[in-house]
Chain A
Amino acid sequence: MPKKSMRDALREALHEEMERDDSIIVLGEDVITHGGPYAVTRGIDEKFPGRIRQTPISEAGIVGTALGAALCGMRPVAEVMYVDFATCAMDEVVNQMAKVRYMFGGQTDVPVVLRLPSGSARLLAAQHSQCLEAWFLHVPGLQVVVPSTAYDAKGLLKTALRGKDPVLFMEYKRLYTNECEVPDEDYAIPFGQADVKREGRDVTIVATGPMVPKALEAADLLSPEGIEVEVVDTRTLVPFDKATVFASVGKTNRAIVTDEEVKRGGTSAEIASLIAEECFDALDAPVKRVAAAEVPMPFSPELEKLVVPKTEHLVAAARELVG
């Protein structure tokens, strides 16, 4: 099976789905001239002329226009250059996109996908490095997807492009170049199905996005010590696959929840409280969380590295839980 990067896998998903469905269009800043800052939309203009629109720097306009087109028969994929800039379109995301199906009594589908480059990378400091999943998973009506591998990214984007509801598709910048085996054949990964990336009996790490490879690394490091880690990749936060997470915790009786978001009020808080509420009797120890420091992202590499959670934090947390 060929190996592909997440960037290439996402690009393939877009091309294949645009081939299949004429109503898919792409909007965003620099999406033609540069293929977006991470080159995901490169090549679309040549292959699908007229179906990609390079926009002004107007995030509210981009998201609002994408939503309007979605209500009128199109399937827009809007790239918001950095998830940080989605804050400039919060009315469109939170008050409009998330609400229109419900507040209009189910009169319309809302097939719009926002692609949102996220997380730390390249020392981009406070306004280009955030992880905002928790902001969005708090809002009923939105779906939140966070792939951790090229394979998952392609399959999940295909599902996003075939659905009827808004999707906030978090693309972690650090993962764009990560490669894995990705088949050439068509496949889609349903939402609401977490993936057990590694089986183990001693402790469960529930990981999201960029923390999945780190959790797997931690599992490799801990195995020789006799600590067998089970790594559950959430893949989608809304809808959320409670069953797989709870089954794993039921087996290992210990849980670490990890993501790259600021810890306070982050996704890890939601997942940890779900486990506490519904798996309390299965737990042999309190749930641990490994997430980012509660500060704006600093610029200097010496400071940035203190913010982003690392493999060693997971290793230490697992040792504490099992020891």
Chain B
Amino acid sequence: MPVEAPSAEKLLDMYARMWRIRLFEEQAEYQSSQGKVMGALHTYIGEEGVAVPACAHLQDTDYITSTHRGHGHCIAKGADISRMMAELFGRSTGYCKGKGGSMHIADFQVGMLGANGIVAGGFGIATGAGLAAQLRGSGQVAVCFFGDGAANRGPFHENINIGAVWKLPVVYVCENNQFAQWTPQKDVTLVTDIANMSPAYGIPGVQVDGMDPLAVYEAAGEAIARARRGEGPTLLECKTYRFHGHNFGDPQQYRTREEIAEWSDNRDPIKQLAAHMRDAGILSDEQDADIQNTVQEEITAAVRFAESSPYPTPDELYKDVYSYDIG
């Protein structure tokens, strides 16, 4: 069943979301350099063309799970960037009241079941979300984002097998950015095309250029529709690239400047989507500037919100360990 091409309105929304991720991440890195954002910071810059078009097929009632590189998934799923920024600043107004930080942002209101500091930590949660949806017959789907590194962990195998044998409405989306932290994928994996692992589970495997948002939109649309129809999971591999290091401050000795430039100069998903929209007459220079300015203002407001928010008070320490008070 062919996926309908995205409307002009949808494209503009996707484009703005991709910029929201890009500028949020740049700001987070800047604030980290200023010592305002603390702790580990893994940015999604360069991979915007995966989460945004995939989540464009989802409602707030659908679920996603994420990774340690989770800001892009949050924004793609509709999380509020002020509460995200406040979380990075460790403030009480953050999504997790300052108890989670960058690697644990979640927004259950929009079906974002959490970034996860454990590589492959989202597989079980997404598969269980799919089970809940199937048992309710609700038509909800769950999308599990994971990296190429996670494909070498056990939960990849255990949960895809369970999702497949029960025909759960789950789409397993591999963001293959070719590096497991600081180790090139090819050094630790012979089968570097993760989609090729799908026959082992009896489910379709689809590989797509993750730098091409329209290709991802189409492939994810098909996989998500298939899941909604009750036909079970798809393993969707998006070949992508992170333009910045694994973490902010990563000296990136495992790759060359030329390689990074090749991807960021020639294959930037935001530039690719902009070019398509310009060709289609959907995006003028003025609109483009407006979108970027508006997003920049949102980012500025998010930082202001974060900076002006209080830190959590000591009485928060023992709250949320259980549903009941242990203070």
| Interfacial residues, chain A to chain B (CB-CB below 8 A) | 25, 50-51, 53, 55-56, 58, 60-61, 63-74, 76, 91-92, 95-96, 100-109, 140-141, 143, 163-165, 239
Residue of A at shortest CB range from B97? A105
Which one of B17-25, B127-135, B204-212, B250-258 is at the interface? B127-135
**A270 CB to nearest chain B CB (Å):** 16
**Residue pair A56, B165 in contact (C-beta under 8 Å):** yes
Q: How far is the CA of A227 from the CA of B322 in the complex (A)?
A: 41
Does chain A have a CB within 8 A of B241?
Answer: no
Closest to B104 in A: A103
Stretch at the interface among B26-34, B152-160, B178-186, B284-292: B152-160
Given A61-B161, A101-B320, A141-B321, 20 other A-B residues pairs in contact with their CB atoms under 8 A: A53-B166, A58-B158, A64-B155, A67-B124, A67-B125, A68-B125, A68-B130, A68-B142, A72-B63, A72-B129, A74-B132, A91-B118, A91-B121, A92-B155, A96-B125, A101-B323, A104-B108, A105-B97, A105-B98, A164-B322
Q: How far is the CB of A210 from chain B (nearest CB, A)?
A: 27
Query: B129, A105: Cβ atoms under 8 Å?
Result: no
- Residues on the A chain within 8 Å of B125, using CB: 64, 67-68, 71, 96
Contact with A along B96-138 (1 / 0, CB 8 A): 1111100010111000011011100101111111111101100
| A65-B124 in contact (CB<8A) | yes
Seen from chain B, the residues whose Cβ lies within 8 Å of a Cβ on chain A are 63, 65, 94-100, 104, 106-108, 113-114, 116-118, 121, 123-133, 135-136, 142, 154-155, 158-159, 161-162, 165-166, 319-324, 326
Contact of A105 among B95, B128, B130, B158 (CB under 8 A): B95
Q: Knowing A50-B135, A106-B97 touch, does A64 contact B124 (C-beta < 8 A)?
A: yes
A-B pairs with beta carbons under 8 Å apart, 12 shown: A58-B158, A60-B158, A61-B123, A61-B162, A72-B133, A74-B132, A74-B135, A96-B121, A96-B124, A106-B320, A107-B106, A164-B322
Instruction: Tell me how many residue pairs across A and B have CB atoms closer than 8 Å.
Output: 147
Is the Cβ of A73 less than 8 Å from the Cβ of B136?
A: yes
- Quick check: A165 and B114 within 8 Å, CB to CB? no
Q: How far is the CA of A140 from the CA of B142 in the complex (A)?
A: 28
Given A58-B161, A61-B161, does the pair A71, B113 have CB atoms closer than 8 Å? yes
Minimal beta-carbon separation of B116 from chain A (angstroms): 8
Q: Which of A71, A95, A163 contacts B128 (CB 8 A)?
A: A71
Q: How far is the CA of A64 from the CA of B156 in the complex (A)?
A: 11
Q: Choose among A64, A70, A71, A105 the residue that contacts B159 (Cβ–Cβ < 8 A).
A: A64
Chain A's nearest CB lies how many Å from the CB of B19? 27
What is the chain A residue whose CB lies nearest that of B121?
A96
A-B pairs with lowest CB-CB distance, top 5: A64-B124, A68-B128, A61-B158, A105-B96, A106-B320
Could you say which residues of chain A place their CB within 8 Å of the CB of B124? 60-61, 63-65, 67-68, 92, 96
Min CB distance A238 to B, Å, is: 9
Per the bound structure, the CA–CA distance linking A163 and B113 in Å amounts to: 21
**What residues of chain B lie closer than 8 Å to A69, measured between beta carbons?**
128-129, 131-132, 135
- Of B63, B118, B125, B166, most A-chain CB atoms within 10 Å: B125
A61–B160 alpha-carbon span in the complex (Å):
9
